[in-house]
Structure 1
Amino acid sequence: MSDMRTRDRAGSPMPVSFLLLAALLAVDAKAQTPPAVSHGPRATVIPGAIMPNYRAIVQLAAPAVVGITVTGSRKVSPQDWMPWPDEEPFSSLFKNLPRGTPPGERPFRGQGSGFIITPDGLVLTSAHVIQGAEQILVRLSDRREFKAQVLGADPLTDVAVLRVAGSNLPVVRLGRVDDLQVGDPVLAIGAPYGLEQTATQGIVSAKGRALPGESLVTFIQTDAAVNPGNSGGPLLDASGSVVGINAQIYSQSGGYQGLSFAIPIEVALRVKDQIVAHGRAQHARLGVSIQNLNQSLARSFGLDLPNGALVVGVARDSAARSAGLMAGDVITSVNGQRIDNAGDLGGRLALMAPGDTVQLTVWRNRAQRTVSVKLGRASDDTTTTPEQPVASPGQLGLRMRPLTSAEREAASLDGGGLMIVESTGQAALAGVQVGDVLLAVNGTPVSSVEQVRAIVARKPAAVALLIDRDGERLFVPVELD
């Protein structure tokens, strides 16, 4: 499923970054050691209580939350080292001034968080916390320190498993994301900016949140204060059970802005089991690109509600292609579990293994069907073309021409497709652009303007155009009434 991508229609892009939360410190920075935290009573949720017992949650979980310090070295590029040339007239005045680090290896030190899940020393954290580490030190709340061994790290889910040589170590309780609802209180414990055993609280803002990038994870979104250094620490529910690993923040400033994201614990435990058993994680691959539906797209496909994951592309030699999935299919459930959006599909498939057979409920051509899929394994001079005749299918406001063989090859198309050379009217308002390649209308592949004109002649209220734009595929709904 490494090629399954989600795409939402949105407004103008904002200069926003998704930040991995391991705090990189100076080489000579000194870690702060927190006071010991005693083992407390088991946290309970009191029916009808307005607020959870945060003190009991912290006392329950904090002893098993660890600070992680990593050291190593990184390469410094020659561009960072600019010696003064001898022929420079003022070189004698500046030669003794610092000019950066000479090219080569440069030591670094970083900090993150983690938590112990077994009494014999298995620790979960984020993969980016330990990336490039040559030595890893794990520090417990009672000030004991252990050197850690990396059992494995999985960049596609950002989960890493460490082992420390201990016994009878405190452990966290493990919860279930399925039991978590939007609005539920949550608590994060970690080491933001090296301040270990810091506890913050918030609520679940959303579940199944897909973020840009190559991650296979759909995240738990919260407003708990999470900052660099929290990464790898636990997200706890109101009973004190771990429901996620804090991993990313959404920020314009580099610090906390009320948007934090955690890896669901079920995904992390599945990766952990595979790493412990095989030394690495294996991920299932369906082989589709998907996007969310909106009301206009739902109308185009004959759906009453915009629920499900809309398939916009099917990879060659993939499980989806073998099972007969097509662009324009709407996946509404996996093994009987409802799929409300593209993130839901990603979340369900992240818990599957290569070779698993899943039953997909698919909406196609205004009818529901069941498709059985055996999941595959994820991998981790200009010439001018002759002018082609153009034509317009009327209400859409588009002028198009057939693709040349070179254009078809560049777009990785077996056949069909129309190059859009002018976009006006309803199509332009919907966001269709000159240079887009029209692949299908309402799920029907098109290779001629006459096909498009015939579909529009039926006077539908809206049509869904499958567009290829710079190698990315998306459905664009166009209202016609």
Structure 2
Amino acid sequence: MAGLLSASAPARAQEMSNTLPDLIDRSRQAVVAVGTFAATDNPRFSFRGTGFAVGDGRRIVTCAHVIPNPIEKDLMIMVPAAGNASGQPQLRAVKLLRRDTARDLAILELADEKGALVDVLSLAEADGDQQVVREGAAIALMGYPIGTALGVTMATHRGTVAAITRAALPAPTSNTLSERAVRQLREGAMEFLQLDATAYPGNSGGPLLDVRTGKVVGVINMVVLKGTRESALSAPSGITYAVPVKYVWPLLGK
């Protein structure tokens, strides 16, 4: 009996380290607010969505629709207080590195000399055509669901992967129609993760984490609305979609 108890202790410790509170503590510093900055605006920082740091800490993953097109103001990220040494939210200049409008993904890169972000998230890697997450898996989505209205406050919502499905993004407008977008329309629908978790418009671009592994398996892309955009707060549908992480890897040059 003693042998069985001692053998199971490491397993229990590993399970405890993968609880949702632990995952939030490990991940929150890498999740940033994405927006634009203009000294003459009030407020000067205009929130547009969520992003998260990956790799060497100088690249940020977000959604393409979070980035204005055309870009007429400075792009900025706001790093939460817990994510920098000052203990205060910090604005960092970024530039658009790559944008895939067909799959609604974008990669930003730090554009200042203040150094890389210390905390980054790990992306799940698929083995061939194998899915990195299964239907029914416990997931957590992180981001800024109501923007910066109440300060830079990140929120986490939990749920499960309800379905892995194929769907087509809305047809791009003339100013976003690119060769890649045309090719995507010609090839047909892309894969999405359908979630039973409630997200809000400000969550766009935020990470979808597998609670078991702690790795990013998708990027929050869109929320099914019952009515107007404003109704997302008062009457959320509870249906959210995420772009699978396999579409992020090519943008990172992997």
In structure 2, the partner of 1:172 is 121
Where in structure 2 are there 5+ consecutive unaligned residues? Answer: 1-12, 39-43, 82-88, 172-180, 185-189
Q: Following the alignment from structure 1 to structure 2, what is the Cα–Cα distance between the partners of residues 124 and 258? A: 24
* Cα distance change, pair 120–173 in 1 and its aligned pair in 2 (3 A): closer
In structure 1, the partner of 2:28 is 62
Q: Which structure has the highest helix share of the two?
A: 2
Equivalent runs, 1:25-424 vs 2, <5 Å: 46=15, 53-71=19-37, 109-132=46-69, 133=71, 134-142=73-81, 143-164=89-110, 165=112, 166-167=115-116, 169-176=118-125, 178-195=131-148, 196-211=153-168, 213-214=170-171, 216=184, 217-238=190-211, 239-253=213-227, 254=229, 255=232, 256-273=236-253
Letter in 2 for 1:115: F
Does the aligned pair in 1 maintain the 2:47–2:147 contact within 8 Å? no
Q: Following the alignment from structure 1 to structure 2, what is the Cα–Cα distance between the partners of residues 113 and 271? A: 18
Q: Following the alignment from structure 1 to structure 2, what is the Cα–Cα distance between the partners of residues 45 and 212? A: 39
Output the TM-score relative to the length of structure 1.
0.38
Where in structure 1 are there 5+ consecutive unaligned residues? Answer: 1-43, 73-106, 275-481
What per-residue deviation string (whole Å, max 9, x for no partner) do you get for residues 108-151 of structure 1?
94420000002341111001101233211111222232011111
Letter in 1 for 2:219: I
Report the 3-state secondary structure (helix = DSSP H, G, I; strand = E; otherwise coil) of the residue aligned with 1:171: coil
Q: Following the alignment from structure 2 to structure 1, what is the Cα–Cα distance between the partners of residues 57 and 125? A: 23
Which structure has the greater CA radius of gyration? 1
Q: Following the alignment from structure 1 to structure 2, what is the Cα–Cα distance between the partners of residues 125 and 147? A: 15
Does the aligned pair in 2 maintain the 1:119–1:170 contact within 8 Å? no
* Cα distance change, pair 212–148 in 1 and its aligned pair in 2 (3 A): closer
Does the aligned pair in 1 maintain the 2:55–2:122 contact within 8 Å? no
Q: Following the alignment from structure 2 to structure 1, what is the Cα–Cα distance between the partners of residues 222 and 160? A: 16
Task: Please state how far the C-alpha of 1:160 moved relative to its aligned partner.
Answer: 0.7
Q: State the number of aligned residues.
A: 193
Report the 3-state secondary structure (helix = DSSP H, G, I; strand = E; otherwise coil) of the residue aligned with 1:175: coil
What per-residue deviation string (whole Å, max 9, x for no partner) do you get for residues 55-103 of structure 1?
011011111111112257xxxxxxxxxxxxxxxxxxxxxxxxxxxxxxx
Task: Please state how far the C-alpha of 1:168 moved relative to its aligned partner.
Answer: 5.3
CA-based RMSD of the aligned residues comes to 2.5
Stretches of 4+ aligned residues off by more than 4 angstroms: none
Where relative contact order (Cα < 8 A, 6+ residues apart) is larger, the structure is 2
Q: Following the alignment from structure 2 to structure 1, what is the Cα–Cα distance between the partners of residues 14 and 194? A: 22
* Cα distance change, pair 193–66 in 1 and its aligned pair in 2 (3 A): same
Q: Following the alignment from structure 1 to structure 2, what is the Cα–Cα distance between the partners of residues 45 and 208? A: 32
Q: Following the alignment from structure 1 to structure 2, what is the Cα–Cα distance between the partners of residues 222 and 176? A: 20
Letter in 1 for 2:143: G
Q: Following the alignment from structure 1 to structure 2, what is the Cα–Cα distance between the partners of residues 154 and 168? A: 24
Q: Following the alignment from structure 1 to structure 2, what is the Cα–Cα distance between the partners of residues 64 and 131? A: 22
In structure 2, the partner of 1:8 is none
Report the 3-state secondary structure (helix = DSSP H, G, I; strand = E; otherwise coil) of the residue aligned with 2:26: helix
